[in-house]
Amino acid sequence: MATQDAGTLEVVGATRRFGAVTALAGVDLTVRRGEMLTLLGPSGSGKTTLLKIVAGFETPDEGAVRVDGRDITMAPPAKRDIGMVFQNYALFPHMTVAENVAFPLLMRRIPRAERERRVQETLKLVDLPTHGGRLPRQLSGGQQQRVALARAVVFDPQLLLLDEPFGALDRQLREQMQLEVRRLQQRLELTALFVTHDQEEALVMSDRIAVMGQGQIAQLGTPEEIYRAPSSRFVAGFIGESNLYRARPLDDATAELEGGMRVPLPHKWPGGTGDLGLMLRPERVRSLGPDDAADIAFDGLIEEVVYLGETIKYRIRSDDGRLSVLARWPLHEANRILSSGHRVRVGWRSADMHSFPWS
Amino acid sequence: MLKRVLAVLCAAGAMSGLASLPAQSQASAKPSQIVVNDSGGATQQANRKTFYNAFEKQTGVKIVNTSPVDLGKLKAMVASGNIEWAVTEIAGPDAVTAERMGLLEPLDHSVIDLSKFPEHLRNRKFVFPKSVYSTVIGYRSDTFKNGGPKSWADFFDVQKFPGPRTMQNSPIEQLEFALLADGVPMDKLYPLDVDRAFKKLDTIKKHVAVWWTTGAQSAQILIDKEAVIGTAWNGRYHSLIKEGAPIQIEWNQGAIKESAFGIPKGAKDAYWGQRVLAAMADAKLQGEYASIIGYPGVNLEATQHTDPKMVPFLPTNPENLSKQFWIDLNWWADNGQQVQERWARWMLER
Amino acid sequence: MSASATTPNELRAGALRRRWWRRHRDGFGSLAAAGPALLFLLVLYLIPMAMLLAQSFEGASLPHYQKALTDDLYLRVLFDTLLIAACVSLLCLVLAYPVAYALSILPSPWPAVGIAFILLPFWTSVLVRTYGWMVLLGRNGLINRMLSDLGVIETPLPLLNNMTGVLIGMTHVLLPYMVFPLYAVMRRMDPNLAQAARGLGASGWDVFRRIYLPLTLPGVLAGMTLVFVLSIGFFITPALLGGGKVHMMAVLIEQQVRMFLNWGFAGALSAVLLGATLLVYIVLRRLLRGNMQWS
């Protein structure tokens, strides 16, 4: 474990209180070398506080921050060797692009020739080789973003921090930049800590995701783990769209949903007698023919139709009124769009449901 | 559109022209109030308690006061024809300048009674000699327990009377004082020997801690001990002495001049201005005024109405008067600008 | 081609006109909004000034200007005036910068409280404030007495009736004019910039020198200009606190206007002073503009 963690960021028991509010409640976190780890959570979840503690703009009340095994808990930001991309880029408006990118090198007393070479190199890396002489305000949002990125990596920092860096971009540019940043991070093998409240972004960008809520890490895992097997109601609700049911186990194999419908339990359920949360992704709901069987199946009416282009979303209520389910199906040529009021038969496998303790 | 605007403007102009005609023809119609401009502060208060209140009682016309005294403003008013003041105070040689430039209405001797004034003042045509004041030597009696400077020669003698001085930041009077200190007799001062005066002033320059600008400043400098010997207008010293300040006045070789009033040329309330001046010529009111502030009027009968305790502090008190000299305002009106420039140059020298 | 056909040149001219209008439309809009203020300035300030200046041009060889520009008395006083104005501007800058900074980072309501305190002296007349300084700075004033009671000094410090007194008094009166422009730019400053700089390895001094100071330069220029221009017109404070030994142009101009009624020469002196002020302003702007292209 220790060898694997060498050269990484370690946060141990970080706690930060603001008056009566505990913003961060004893967080432990390890970011491995070359990994992009995302702190994902709603506002007020503590992700920004954690980032600031790592960057050195906040000091934890308790706990420690280590990089490469070196304790930097009390080190000023300037002595941390961390590159950071800010929410609104925080480019220096009075400096040219090249001067902005050269700034961290200048602060590190890198000789002029070396400085110019590295600035040029990095600008080429972010695809702005000829923009060095311009002022930030003369660039587009995406270009400013790249400059901010170049400035954060030009000095080969041990760690790259990204604080909601795509918030100001429109959707298309944002998706493009996400991929670009990800590529750059992988190419330079940068260890990166990324903060966002956008779960899609987190899924695209991350090697691992730490979902944060109420000052703690609710779940830490790969995007797939987080998506497929959320460990709690909070994570399930926050990541992706889902059908979430509260269920009471009746025996080892059956549970009763709120509303009274009985369903078979998935094999891997937590056990015990407490209430369960059952999560079902909408794309796992299948449209059934009149005679098709499934672990769970019922007839119902389409209540609501949402057209999403590639896919289409239906809200379906069972005829007995005890269950409402959200289904998302791809729109193949064969599929026609069903309208509200249409009768359908739907079902799913019990293995498609993921369970976790309710509370 | 433009034509219509012009037409309206012309009509308005014509109407205002018409409207102003009857106003001019009835110049002596009684206004509800008139504006009297004076130097403000304590003198304005004393004016108010005596002359202004008496005038209001006699005529039923209210007096509104403005300050400060400003020859430039007087010129601007007369030049533009927009005259706010019915009467204004005019300082020192400015009165002569104002008279020469034709900025003043003639005094109406049928309204203003000058018969009890000293003979040489009875025929004043434009400038009303309202009161007199004197620039005198003052010193701290606690610093000079065995007697202070008795003359300008003493004032300039920093061996005999050591300590910082204060004088007014103006060539007027300072040149006279320098010449007196240099031995010129009081009655041979004018025309001033400017070169000689500046040469003598050179000897005192570095001992003058403050060249004062305002009357309030002049006496306060002795109180604050910024200087121990100084010059100020007699009333300024008196008001501090009355409050118990350790200051002694030396009347010898004091510079007397008149505080003048006049009526701006073309003032629409000129008649009422004459009536204000008439009140200021009244012996009884002059006596009351001097009792308050120590600046006597020149009506020869005024002393009878003056508080006897004040009399020794008046520059016109015969005992004081004989020791002093009159400033020649005509000389200053002729030479002021040139000498002022030289003064400024001299001040710049180190 | 018929006579009524629009030539390409005309088309282009029309397009240029439209583009010109589009580009300047907002400018004209704000000009119209500023109309009453401009009219006010025109009637009450520019026209009288033009009339005064017109008087200064009498005589074919411009004798007033010859005198104003060659007489060493006026040149020396002009130099002193500009020097004093420059010193006061610098003093104000040094004092106002930290004050404005503190105001800009304080949580509400403290900035409002601070601003009220800074504005407080504005409600007292300049004369009263000046006399206040005379009480404080005199040989037997509060400061000297305190220092001698504490045994710090034996003879009183010469704080009043000299250049020191004038600079203290003028700086006090003019300080708010420096604080507010600085406060305005500092308030608008993105706090992330300083944080970003620190994160990128800048020390506190580097952050100040390379980020904060250059970004507040527009406020510095605005404040310096205001204080400088106002200093040049100062009159009562230097006369009273300088003990008559500090000479400023406004006093000489006032003498010409009030005592000698020589308005032509007064106009010439004013024009020279105005010209010198503009020159200083232009030079200052030139010097700083290289650093302000971004704004």
CATH number of A2-231, picked from 3.40.50.170, 3.40.50.300, 3.40.50.720, 1.10.287.70: 3.40.50.300
Beta carbons of C240 and B169 less than 8 Å apart: no
Tokens of A135: 């002022």
Q: State the Cα–Cα distance between residues A324 and A316, nearest whole angstrom.
A: 6
ipTM of the complex: 0.79
> What's the maximum distance between 2 C-alpha atoms anywhere in chain B?
86
3-state secondary structure of B264: strand
In a domain, B17, yes or no: no
How many C-beta neighbours within 10 Å does residue C154 have?
A: 7
- B212·C139 Cβ contact <8 A: no
Residue-range domain boundaries for chain A: 2-231, 241-357
Task: Write down which chains contact chain A via at least 3 CB pairs under 8 A.
Answer: C
Residues of C in contact with A87 (CB under 8 A): 192
One fold for A2-231 and A241-357: no
Asked whether residue B349 is assigned to any structural domain, the reply reads no
For C30, other C-beta atoms within 10 Å of its C-beta total 9
The answer to whether residue B9 sits within a structural domain is no
CA separation for the pair A163, A168 (Å, rounded): 12
The tally of domains found in chain B comes to 2
Same domain, B82 and B223: no
Region B126-141: mean pLDDT is 95
pLDDT top residue among C119 and A155? A155
**pLDDT tens-digit map of C196-255:** 999 999 999 999 999 999 999 989 988 999 999 999 988 888 888 999 889 899 988 988
Residues 6+ apart with CB under 8 A from B149: B137, B139, B155, B157, B160, B161, B229, B250
pLDDT of B191: 96
**Domain presence at residue B273:** yes
Across the interface, whether the CB atoms of A76 and C292 are under 8 A apart is answered no
Shared domain for B279 and B316, answered yes or no, is: yes
Which has the minimum average pLDDT: A210-224, B159-173, B273-287, C17-31?
C17-31
| pLDDT band at residue B12 using 50, 70 and 90 as cut-offs | very low
CA distance B168 to chain C (A): 9
Strands of the sheet with A192-196, listed across from one edge: A82-85, A159-163, A192-196, A36-40, A208-213, A216-221
pLDDT in tens, B17-43: 333 333 333 445 789 999 999 988 888
* Domain-located, residue B294: yes
Retrieve residue A193's tokens: 């800590």
**Extended strands (E) in A177-250:** 192-196, 208-213, 216-221, 243-249
Taking only the tens place, the pLDDT of each residue in B157-191 is 999 999 999 999 999 999 999 999 999 999 999 99
In single-letter form, the type of residue at position A293 comes to A
Owning domain of residue B312: 32-132+259-320
Which chain A residue shows the shortest CA-CA distance from C204? A78
B246 and B157 in one domain?
A: yes
Instruction: Please provide the DSSP assignment of B124-175 as one string.
Output: -SS-EEEEEEEEEEEEETTT-TT----SHHHHT-TTTS-S-EEEESSSTTHH
Note the pLDDT of residue B135.
Answer: 96
- Contacting residues of C for B337, CB less than 8 Å apart: 259-260, 262
Residues B155 and B239 in one domain: yes
pLDDT of amino acid C13: 66
- Residue B144 CA to residue C17 CA, distance in Å, equals 85
- At B99, which CATH number? 3.40.190.10
Give pLDDT, residue A205: 92
pLDDT above 70 (res B238): yes
Least confident of C56-70, C95-109, C202-216: C56-70
Residues B46 and B117 in one domain: yes
User: What are the backbone angles phi and psi of residue B173, rounded to the nearest 5°?
Assistant: 80, -40
**Tens digit of pLDDT for each residue in B61-80?**
999 999 989 999 999 999 99
C78 to chain B: nearest residue by CA? B348
pLDDT computed for residue B266 by the predictor = 95
Contact (CB<8Å) C198/A77: yes
**Contact criterion met (CB < 8 Å) for C245 and B337:** no
- Kindly state whether residue B10 falls inside one of the protein's structural domains: no
CA distance C279 to chain A (A): 26
Which residue has better confidence, C42 or B22? C42
- Given a cut of 60, is residue B147 above it in pLDDT? yes
Do residue B71 and residue B170 come from a single domain?
no
Q: What is the mean pLDDT of residues B206-228?
A: 92
Q: Measuring CA to CA, which residue among B154, B144, B198, B206 is closest to residue B340?
A: B198
* C-alpha B38: how far from chain center: 9
Do B281 and B264 lie in one domain? The reply is yes
Is there a single domain that holds both residue B224 and residue B180?
Answer: yes
- Name which of B70, B224, B341 is nearest C258 (Cβ-Cβ): B70
How far does Cα C235 stand from its chain's mean position?
A: 15
pLDDT for residue B173: 96
CB contacts of C267 in chain B (<8 Å) are: none
Residues B213 and B336 in one domain: yes
Query: Are residues B230 and B166 in contact, defined by beta-carbon separation less than 8 angstroms?
Result: yes
How far is B15 from B23, CA to CA, in rounded Å?
13
Residue numbers in C near A86 (CB within 8 A): 192, 195-196
Same domain, B234 and B208: yes
DSSP structural state of residue B254: E
**Domains of chain C and CATH, by start:** 63-289 (1.10.3720.10)
For the stretch B245-261, pLDDT in tens is 999 999 999 999 999 99
Cβ contact (<8 Å) for B101 and C261? yes
What's the average model confidence in pLDDT over B219-239? 93
CA distance A139 to B169: 63
- Residues of chain C in contact with residue A93, where contact means CB-CB under 8 angstroms, are 215, 294-295
Min mean pLDDT across A95-109, B127-141, C150-164 is at C150-164
Predicted confidence at residue B199, as pLDDT, reads: 97
Q: Chains B, C in contact: 3+ Cβ pairs under 8 A?
A: yes
Q: What is the DSSP track for B215-253? A: HHHHHHHHHTTS-SEEEEEHHHHHHHHHTT-SEEEEEEE
DSSP labels, A304-331: EEEE-SSEEEEEEEETTSS-EEEEEEE-
- pLDDT value at B13 more than 90: no
- Please check the confidence at residue B10 and state whether its pLDDT lies above 50: no
Residue A85's SS3 state is strand
pLDDT at C220: 92
Contact list, B169 vs chain C (CB under 8 Å):
239, 244
Mean pLDDT of B131-144: 96
B276 and B246 in one domain?
A: no
**pLDDT by residue, tens only, chain A of 359 residues:** 344 444 589 999 999 999 999 999 999 999 999 999 999 999 989 999 999 999 999 999 999 999 988 899 999 998 899 999 998 899 999 999 999 999 999 999 999 999 999 999 999 999 999 999 999 999 999 999 999 999 999 999 999 999 999 988 888 999 999 999 999 999 999 999 999 999 999 999 999 999 999 999 999 999 999 998 999 999 998 888 899 999 998 888 888 888 888 888 887 777 777 888 999 999 999 988 888 888 888 999 999 999 888 889 999 999 988 889 999 988 876 577 888 899 999 999 988 999 898 87
Percent of chain C predicted with pLDDT > 90: 41
By Cβ distance, the residue of B169, B337, B344 closest to C260 is B337
| pLDDT score of C164 more than 70 | yes
Question: Number of CB pairs < 8 Å for B and C?
Answer: 70
Which numeric CATH code is attached to A241-357? 2.40.50.140
Query: Please, what is the average pLDDT of chain B?
Result: 90
Q: Which residue of B has its CA nearest to C258?
A: B72
Is residue B122 very low, low, confident or very high in pLDDT (cuts 50, 70, 90)? very high
Between chain A and chain C, how many beta carbons pairs sit less than 8 Å apart?
A: 69
Report percent pLDDT > 90 for chain B.
Answer: 81
Q: What's the confidence (pLDDT) of residue A292? A: 84
Q: What is the pLDDT of residue A47?
A: 94
Q: Is the pLDDT of residue B212 over 60?
A: yes
If you count DSSP H runs as helices and E runs as strands, how many of each does chain C have, helices first? Answer: 15, 0
Residue of C94, C104, C89, C110 whose CA lies nearest to C185: C104
